[in-house]
Structures are given as structure tokens and as C-alpha cells.
Structure 1
Amino acid sequence: MFEIFSNYWPHVLAVLSVVLGVPAAVHAAMTKQEVRSALGWVGIILLSPVLGAMLYAVAGINRIRRSSIEQQRSQFRDRRPDDLAKYDVSAASVAGQFGQRFAGMKLLGDRVSRHRICSGNTAAMLTGGDRAYAAMLQEIADARRSILLESYIFDRDPIGLRFADALIAAVKRGVQVRVLIDAVGARYSVPSIVGYLTEGGVTVRVFNGNIIMGLRLPYANLRTHRKILVIDGAVGFTGGMNIRAGFTFEFAGETQAHDTHFRVTGPVVADLFQVAAEDWRFTTREMLDGDAWRITPALTDSKPRQPLMLMRAVPSGPDRANESNHKMLMGAFSVARRSIRIMSPYFLPDRELISALVTASLRGVEVDIIVPAVNNLLLVDRAMTSQFDQVLKGGCRIWRADGPFNHSKLMTIDNRWSYVGSSNLDPRSLRLNFEIDLEILDTSFAAAIGETIKEVVRGASPVTLEELQSKPFLKRLVNRIFWLGSPYL
């Protein structure tokens, strides 16, 4: 057998090249929606048919079938409590409060998100892990009926164990608890927190992978990057914060990473619950129904301690909601008149978003983009540095924030419209990950987000074209090579 193979291996290789390469190239050409992605994969397959086809099978195919997700999620479509319909907001109301251009944003959101913009909500900004985790743990301790938690990373460290013990205690007092952790994120700790939770009686699953036998590479690009916590169907938490000790001063001290999370109440909590419950059903086939999972958002009385806000949940991901966040950003950049403030740990927008930002700048809009001076992902940082010149040449400003790594994802337009949540401005968040963001129309909230960003800018250093061009040629070349691979970082 070996002798036959040694004599005819070129023929075998040629046959394999055709058998594997042609179907892979055809699949890439027919299924990829972006021409650059399709060309990239077809080029890889043609240049190395066997190896390229294997690589495409591992990293290039979206194995989460959209029809499968859509079929399951359609069962949730009409589950929003009827008594919340009165909080829905009309385009005329938005136009009256914020102007016709933001009524246009309402219409855009209606068409790209399954969830309606609604009134009667509050959002409290929680800066730093010490404050955010304390608020979340307090709500978990007070839970009486149900807890639904979805997170990208849930570390088995002092903070993770504190959350796990609180969830285990909730189970022991009769609370229904469901925990969903991304398979990639669960591997950040070895051993995983999953075993600890399971031993404590918590019902926990991993999204799209097997963390016991090891990470399943075909699913590495299709992650739930969402961070959602819903307590008793009444109070919700969402934002950019994973569950990690490194985000607290208590355990990390002065080196703690920074992030921003939000505690929300009102009708939008029903939509946050629906998104997380859909992900849970997709993973486990269990419908979260019954009295324990009843949605009863904490609706504020006639004299609220916090101003009521117009708010919408915007889920996105490689399903029916594909690129919802991308479309919302394009719309927001196009309606800006005075200012666009963006804070993101990873800034690798595609050409369309760069053009939208540059066009806004050329219209006279002040565009400020804040990224960390020190990044936790070196390759991503090198890639986005290579792209900065495209933004700076259009008149936008980029700032490097000094100090510890800041993981916050914050955006505000004209001090009226805000967009906060889990989405980064990079290819993974915009096309590959399952994300959850909040669209918020409220001047006070936008002002608070704007002030947070301005405070960071005060201690930041501007990035200039001269600085970028003065770097050694070899370093710029290496950065550019990393930039070429940015869709896969």
C-alpha cells in the first residue's frame, strides 16, 4: 500500500485538490456576503487546495445555521407582555423630543432589530468591576424567582467563585437559575467554573462547544459575546463587563482593567430576557416559561429618582440579526451634526464605517475616537495602528488613553443618542459574534457618557499622522501584515 502511494502520490494529491478545493471554493463564493471575504477564502483555497480547504472547513464555515436559530427564536417573537405595549414610542414622539433625524434612527432600528424602542426605562452607569459586581451580587442575593445569566467569560477566580457561590445559594433557596457561558470564554480558566457550578446544583451550559474534551475549533469564530443578567424578570444588567477578578481594585489593585456596565429597569428588561432566553433555548432546547420566568419589569413610579429614558435592545450576530450593530452605527454616523464620541478597546472598522466617520468629519462633525494606550491583544493593537492613518487623514481625532487597559464600549452622538453594550468596532463583533447593545435616546444619559469619554481624553495622548509615519519602515510593514489578517484576529 505504501509503495503504491509513494509511486502515485502526485495523482492522489491532484485528486484531493479537486475533490476538496472545488467544493470549498464554490461554497465560499456562494455563501460569503462580503466580496473581500469571499475573495480571500477563494484565494487561499486555490493557492493551497488541500490545506486551504481544510482551513476553510475549520474557520470559514458558519455552522450555526441561520434557519435553525430563526426557527427557535420565532417562538419567542410574541412573548412580550401585552401590558408593555403602552410604553412603545412613535416616530412623531421621537421627532418632537429629539428631531426628525432621530425619528429616522427609530425607523432604522425598527427594521434591523426585532425589538421596539420604548419609554419608561432607567439605566445606571456602573464604572469599574468593584461597583458593577457589587450591584449584580446584591440583586442575585435578593432574587426570589429566577436568575438568567449569559456571559462570554466567567473566570474561576475569586470574583467568579463569589458569583458562583451566590448563584448556588440562590438555587438552595428555591430560585430557578440558568447560566450560559461561551465555550471559548469558559476556557479562559482551567479548570472551568462550569464544574464548580454544576456540583453546586446550578443548571449551566456552554454555548457552541465542548469545554470538557477541549475547544471545538469549527465554532471558535461564532461566540456569544453577550453579557446579560436578568433577575426575577424585573432588573437587568448588560454592558461590556465579563466576570473576572482583573476588573476589580479589590484583587488587581492599581493594575485593574477598567470597564463599564449598566443596571437597567423598565420594559427593555423584557427584551434583554428574550435575547438571553433565545440563546439558552438554542443551546439546551429548554423554553424558559412558567411563573418563575414571568416578565415583570420594575416600572418606575410617577416620581422616579432617575429620569426615564427611551431605550431599545439591539441584538446582533450571525443569524437573522446579522450586522444589526453595523447598520445602527452607519445610521448614527450619518445623522450626526455636531459630535461623534467613540470609546472602544478594539478599533478595526471596515471601509464602510471609516468612510462614514470621515464623511461626518468633512461635514464639520467633531469625531473623537479613544482607544487604550496599552492593549491586552497585541496583534489587534498592531493591526488597528496600521489603520489609523485612514481615519486621521479625514480629519477625525484618535486618542490613546493612558493608564490600565480600558475595555469600555461607549458611544454618543450629538449628546442625544447613545449606544452602549458588548460590541467592539472590529470584524468579530460586527460580523461573527453574538452581541447585545442598547440604543438610548436621552440627553442626560448621553451627557454622562460624553463626560466619561472627555475625562479619559484629558489624560490621553493624541495620535498624529507624523507620529505614525515616523515609525521605522519594518515596524509599519509588520503592522500592515497584521492588518491584512484583521478579519481573523
Structure 2
Amino acid sequence: MSLTRAASILAVCWVLCSVAAPAAVAPVAAAPSEMSEPATDATVTDATRSPTATPNATRNASAEDGTPNASAPAILSAYPNPLTDGDAGEYVVVRTGGTANLTLSDGESNVSVPPDADVVAVASDPVRARNLTDRPVVAARLDLSNAGERLVLRRGGVVVAETTYGRAPDAERWNATADRWVPRGLSLRDPVSTGPANATAFVLPDDPGVVRETLRSADERILLAGYTFSSTRVADALVAAHRRGVRVRVLVEGSPVGGVSTRQADALARLARAGVAVRVVSGSRARFDYHHAKYAVADETALVSTENWKPTGTGGRKNRGWGVRVEGGRTAEELAAVFEHDFGGADAVSWRRYRRGRTFAESSPPEGDFPRRVAAESVAVEEVRVLTAPGNAGSAVVERFDGAERSIDVLAPRMDPDGRFFDALRRAANRGVRVRILLSNAWYDEEANAALVNRTETLRERGYDIEARIARPDGRFGKVHAKGAVVDGERTFVGSLNWNDRAATENREVVLELVGEDPASYYAAAFDADWRASEPGGGWWGTKTKTTATLALGALCSLALATWVTKKTVRFDG
């Protein structure tokens, strides 16, 4: 068989597979410009960058309904392995709630915990411990094991709280509330309500002007946090802001999937040359797997989106994304606090230091233009809640899914079928809540997403009110990249959180929960339009048949090619 004939076979196979299921081919390594986000729980990462998660091992007092009792005595954290000689300064943080007669035990010794303050750090070397924590420190002889320990808090001999940790990594704190090790320098936050606000809801690629308008309007400060950054227009706005006296700071991820692109390197270098403070989350002791948040603070305005700071994201050149701009200072101040925490960490290094000796990945040019079908809209939000990961975003979303009564609409690139987010959706569908999931059409997602569609079809056959579809852009956008949800037509989630467990526990993510019918109706209408356009059956077969046909055709093509390769190999070897 000639090379020409082999090429013909491959061409025919490609056409047939494309007709059977557009883009549903086995994923191969994606170019940085195409697949630049952490994908699923299976994403391979540098283990040295991962805060270590541990199975649930803590029991603290709860109310009768099972929710944590915020005033009851509890073990909050432990720091058994500080970077000091002999672990001097190790401590356990206990919430006393003003309760007397508390004792803390490690199985070998028992120490009294005085109710000197609502929360205290118990340490055998209080002088050293005061350099390691801002909690009030009380002296008590308690030696913590670096190999693992079970700590028990008792009141009058009755167990009120306990926690068990495994081998202690250097300089990491055991967070007994989250049951995980947390690198020093990372503070896990609670959800924060910033009250009612006026906001501008928008979707991409339809209305990218909201992003640029927000940055151009700043007079005093711009704090911009992202996963990647390569937008020339955003860079223009930041440089212009810096020149008119605005304090501009930028924080991005140092190890995005596929590497830092040459386009991003050029954009960040330009900002740094102009005098903008640019830092990159990088290094073996990074506090997050990925700094994946996508938000900005411009004076007293907060902007949160699902999209990266690049032409195909906030630039409106490809992705279906959701975004919101919130007016008023409370949300902006809360996000500014998140930014200051992350920007000030030891793992946030300057751009000049980061780029020394590095090479960067080639990047593709921006994609096409898309029509403006969904205009930005002013909405009244009854309450804004700022959610972050690691810490609270994942559990907050699952809690809303579990509390849903009528409907849940989810727009996402992909979803882990074995993760807690899909489990919560399945539970909702089982109790009669209408669940709709619209997934990415990107070629590197479609095989896994087709499998999820099949799974929901199986659940529907068993009586669950759940349906998933793969998006059909039809010229309205390039691919789905949004991570959003609307619950009961009353609560909307907009932010960077991908719907998998690893993102919720290991990445820096920022999500806004918008309470009220006004914002929910806007995003629900946008979702409905994309959902209707993705109606199944717009082709020869349904998803299951397409997937089966694609696999069969792929097998035939592989067999034909293998036969040719074998013949050629025998001929060459002979």
C-alpha cells in the first residue's frame, strides 16, 4: 500500500468520524491556547505543590440539625512540625467558648485548657509559639508527634471534640475544620455576605466591553487576579491606568496547563516595564495547585468572571462565559482582602524573578468574532456572598444543590461523574428537582462529556429528572468555558470553580453567589438560549449512537492503518 493510499484511508476515516460525532475523538495533548485550564481530578500535577488532603477525621460539636456549632468548644487546628529546632513553638488551637473544665489529650498526657479567651493556642513553648500564631497563647505541656496524632478535647471528662492527623509535612498546619493540611501562609476563609448591591450581569463573547469599561474607570486602584493573562486590550487598560496614577497590581498562575505562552510572557513583561507590580504564584511551596481565580477590583467595584484574561476569554473572541460587575465597596473590599492575602505570600514572586532562565510555549493567535445576542443588563442583587477555595466554595455550592426544590441549571466545561457536585445533582434529580447540565463542545472534552450525557440518560430511564447536553455553538460562540449555575430561579453562582473536587480543595478559586430573582432571570435566559440551541437529534443520531458509531469507525480505521503499518514493517525488516 502506498503512502498516498494510506493518507486516503486516514482522510476518509477522519471525515466519517467527524460526521458521526463532531470532535468526539480521543483526546491528545492540547495546545496551550486550546486547553489551558486544569481539567479534572485526574489532572497530573506537581505533588510538591499540593496541600495534602486527608479523609474526614475530625468530630466537633454540632447543633441538632447537624450544622457546626460555632460557639461550642472545638479543636480548630494543630501545628506539630514548625521549621524550628525540636519543633519549638508547636501548638494546638482550641475554641473554648468561655467554657471551664476543658482538658486536651494526645493519648499520653492531659493538659488543662483555661478559658482565658474564646480561642487560644495551647503550646509547651509559648514564647516561640507567639511568633507563629496571632492567637492568644497559653502554656501547657503537650508534645505533638510529627508521625500522626489523635487529639481529644473533653469537658468534665466527656468528649466534646476530637481530630486525628497523619504524618505532618514541614511547616504545614492541620486544619481540623477542613480535615486537611494547609501550607503556612494560607488562611482558609469562611463565606462572607456583603449584603445587597447593584450589579451588571453579562455573558461572553457577547459583551466584553464591561471588562474594559471597569478597568478604564478606575481612579485609585486595580487589583487583577488571574490564571492566565495575554489580552493586549486589558494590558493597554492597565498601562494607561498606571500612567494616570492608579495603583495597579497583577497576580497570575506560574504553571498553567500547557505552560506560560509567549503571548502571556510578552504581556506581563510589558506591564512590568511600565511599572505595574506583577507577581506569579510559583515554586515548590506554592499554597495552591493552581491560582485559578478570575477577578478584579477597580476602586470600589468588583468584577468576577468565569474567563481568563486573554482574547478568547474576557476579550470576547471565543468562549461562552459568564461575568458580573458588583458596585459598592463591601464586595470589592472582601475581594481586595483575598488579593492581599495571595499577593503577599512567599510563593508570589515578581515577574522579573520568575522569568529568569525560562522558555515559553508558542501560542495561537486570537480566534474569530461573534454576534452580540445577549446584552449586559443592570440587576438588583438582594445579597452577594463571596465564596473562595480552598475553604468554602465547594461545600457552599453542594449545600445549595442539596437544598434545591424546583430546578438547577449548570453550565460547565466538564463535570466529574464520580465527584460530589454530580452526586448532589443526582440527589436533587432523584427528589424531583429538574436538573439540566450543559457541557463543553471542545474536542478535548467531548468524549468524556458524551459519557456523562449517556450516564444522565440512564438515570432518566430510572426516573431521575436530569438531562445533560453537549453545547452546539452554532456561530454564537466557540466553546463553553463558563462555570455557572442557577438554583430555583433565585440563586446564581458565577466564578472560576470547575465542578470537580480537586478544584474545590486545592485551587485558589473565587465565586460570587448572587441571591435574587433579578440576576437569576438574566443568567437563566442566557442558559435557556444555549440549551435550546443544543437540542439533541440535530444530526443523524442521538449521542449514544454517535459515540458508539465513532468508536466503531475508529476501530475500523485503526485496523486498516495497523494492517498497512504491519505490511510496511515486515517489508522494511525483511
- TM bucket, shorter chain: 0.5 to 0.7
Question: Which of 356, 362, 373 in structure 1 is aligned with 2:424?
Answer: 356
Deviation of the 1:468 alpha carbon: 6.8
Deviation of the 1:202 alpha carbon: 0.8
Q: Which residue of 1 aligns with 2:340?
A: 277
TM-score for the superposition, normalised by structure 2: 0.54
Select between 324-333 and 357-366 the one with higher mean Cα deviation. 324-333
Q: Equivalent residues in 2 for 1:406-485 (5 A)?
A: 406-462=480-536, 466-467=544-545, 470-471=548-549
CA offsets, 1:352-403, max 9 Å, x none? 333322221121111100012x216x1x433343344333322210112112
AA of the residue aligned to 1:235: T
Question: Which of 132, 137, 141 in structure 1 is aligned with 2:216?
Answer: 141
Question: Which of 434, 446, 458 in structure 2 is aligned with 1:366?
Answer: 434
Provide the rounded CA distance (Å) in 2 between the counterparts of 1:141 and 1:249.
Answer: 15
Question: Which of 365, 375, 398 in structure 1 is aligned with 2:468?
Answer: 398
Query: Does 2:298 align with 1:231?
Result: yes
Q: Which residue of 2 aligns with 1:222?
A: 289
Deviation of the 1:123 alpha carbon: 2.5
Provide the rounded CA distance (Å) in 2 between the counterparts of 1:194 and 1:331.
Answer: 38
Provide the rounded CA distance (Å) in 2 between the counterparts of 1:62 and 1:241.
Answer: 34
Q: Equivalent residues in 2 for 1:64-103 (5 A)?
A: 65=172, 72=185
Deviation of the 1:117 alpha carbon: 1.9
Q: Which residue of 2 aligns with 1:109?
A: none
Deviation of the 1:225 alpha carbon: 0.7
Q: Which residue of 1 aligns with 2:380?
A: 307
Structure 1 pair 142/31, CA: closer, same or farther in 2 (3 Å)? closer
Query: Does 2:190 align with 1:128?
Result: no
Provide the rounded CA distance (Å) in 2 between the counterparts of 1:226 and 1:425.
Answer: 14
Provide the rounded CA distance (Å) in 1 between the counterparts of 2:496 and 2:169.
Answer: 21
Deviation of the 1:71 alpha carbon: 5.8
Deviation of the 1:227 alpha carbon: 0.8
Q: Equivalent residues in 2 for 1:317-328 (5 A)?
A: 317=390, 321=391, 324-328=392-396
Provide the rounded CA distance (Å) in 2 between the counterparts of 1:64 and 1:154.
Answer: 31
Provide the rounded CA distance (Å) in 2 between the counterparts of 1:398 and 1:441.
Answer: 25
CA contact (8 A) 1:115 1:271 kept: no
Deviation of the 1:446 alpha carbon: 1.2
Q: Which residue of 2 aligns with 1:168?
A: 239
Residue ranges of structure 1 left out of the alignment (5+ in a row): 1-26, 36-60, 75-111, 210-215, 287-304, 478-489
Structure 1 pair 284/203, CA: closer, same or farther in 2 (3 Å)? farther
AA of the residue aligned to 2:321: D
Q: Which residue of 2 aligns with 1:334?
A: 402
Deviation of the 1:308 alpha carbon: 3.9
Q: Which residue of 2 aligns with 1:206?
A: 280
AA of the residue aligned to 1:207: V
Structure 1 pair 204/237, CA: closer, same or farther in 2 (3 Å)? same
Structure 1 pair 273/350, CA: closer, same or farther in 2 (3 Å)? farther
CA offsets, 1:437-461, max 9 Å, x none? 0112101211222111111111003
Question: Which of 225, 244, 257 in structure 1 is aligned with 2:310?
Answer: 244
Deviation of the 1:62 alpha carbon: 9.4
Provide the rounded CA distance (Å) in 1 between the counterparts of 2:499 and 2:442.
Answer: 14
CA offsets, 1:95-146, max 9 Å, x none? xxxxxxxxxxxxxxxxx952432322123112224633x3333333332211
Residue ranges of structure 2 left out of the alignment (5+ in a row): 1-47, 57-167, 175-180, 350-377, 461-465, 556-574
Deviation of the 1:341 alpha carbon: 0.6
Select between 170-179 and 333-342 the one with higher mean Cα deviation. 170-179
What is the identity percentage for the equivalent residue pairs of Structure 1 and Structure 2?
Answer: 23
Provide the rounded CA distance (Å) in 2 between the counterparts of 1:220 and 1:249.
Answer: 29
Q: Which residue of 2 aligns with 1:260?
A: 322
Provide the rounded CA distance (Å) in 1 between the counterparts of 2:344 and 2:336.
Answer: 12
AA of the residue aligned to 1:194: L
Deviation of the 1:166 alpha carbon: 2.2
Question: Which of 238, 262, 267 in structure 2 is aligned with 1:189?
Answer: 262
Deviation of the 1:151 alpha carbon: 0.9
Between Structure 1 and Structure 2, how many residues are aligned?
A: 344
Provide the rounded CA distance (Å) in 2 between the counterparts of 1:423 and 1:408.
Answer: 9
AA of the residue aligned to 1:148: L
Deviation of the 1:184 alpha carbon: 2.5
The structure where helix makes up a greater share of residues is 1
The structure where strand makes up a greater share of residues is 2
Q: Which residue of 2 aligns with 1:180?
A: 251
Aligned-residue RMSD, C-alpha? 3.5
Deviation of the 1:349 alpha carbon: 4.4
Q: Which residue of 2 aligns with 1:375?
A: 442
Provide the rounded CA distance (Å) in 1 between the counterparts of 2:183 and 2:301.
Answer: 26
Deviation of the 1:262 alpha carbon: 1.1
Provide the rounded CA distance (Å) in 2 between the counterparts of 1:441 and 1:262.
Answer: 13
Provide the rounded CA distance (Å) in 2 between the counterparts of 1:223 and 1:121.
Answer: 30
Provide the rounded CA distance (Å) in 1 between the counterparts of 2:344 and 2:416.
Answer: 32
SS of corresponding position for 2:530: helix
Provide the rounded CA distance (Å) in 2 between the counterparts of 1:313 and 1:407.
Answer: 21
Provide the rounded CA distance (Å) in 1 between the counterparts of 2:308 and 2:170.
Answer: 25
Q: Which residue of 2 aligns with 1:23?
A: none
Provide the rounded CA distance (Å) in 1 between the counterparts of 2:412 and 2:55.
Answer: 24
CA contact (8 A) 1:412 1:450 kept: yes
TM-score for the superposition, normalised by structure 1: 0.62
